[in-house]
Amino acid sequence: MIVRTLKDCENSDRRVVSENWESVRMLLKDDNMGFSFHITTIKANTETHIHYKNHLESVYCMSGNGEIQTLADGKVYPIEAGTLYILDQHDEHLLRGGSEDMKMACVFNPPLSGKEVHDQDGVYPLD
Topology (CATH) of 6-109: Jelly Rolls (2.60.120)
pLDDT given at position 96: 98
- Among residues 51, 3, 39, the alpha carbon closest in space to that of 68 is found at 51
pLDDT given at position 65: 98
pLDDT given at position 54: 87
Burial of 34 (0-12, 13-18, 19+ CB in 10 A): exposed
Q: Where do the domains of the chain lie?
A: 6-109
58-92 confidence digits (pLDDT tens): 999 999 999 999 999 999 999 999 999 999 999 99
Cα separation, 94 vs 86, whole angstroms: 14
12-51 confidence digits (pLDDT tens): 999 999 999 999 999 999 999 999 999 999 999 999 999 9
Whether pTM exceeds 0.75: yes
Cα separation, 108 vs 23, whole angstroms: 12
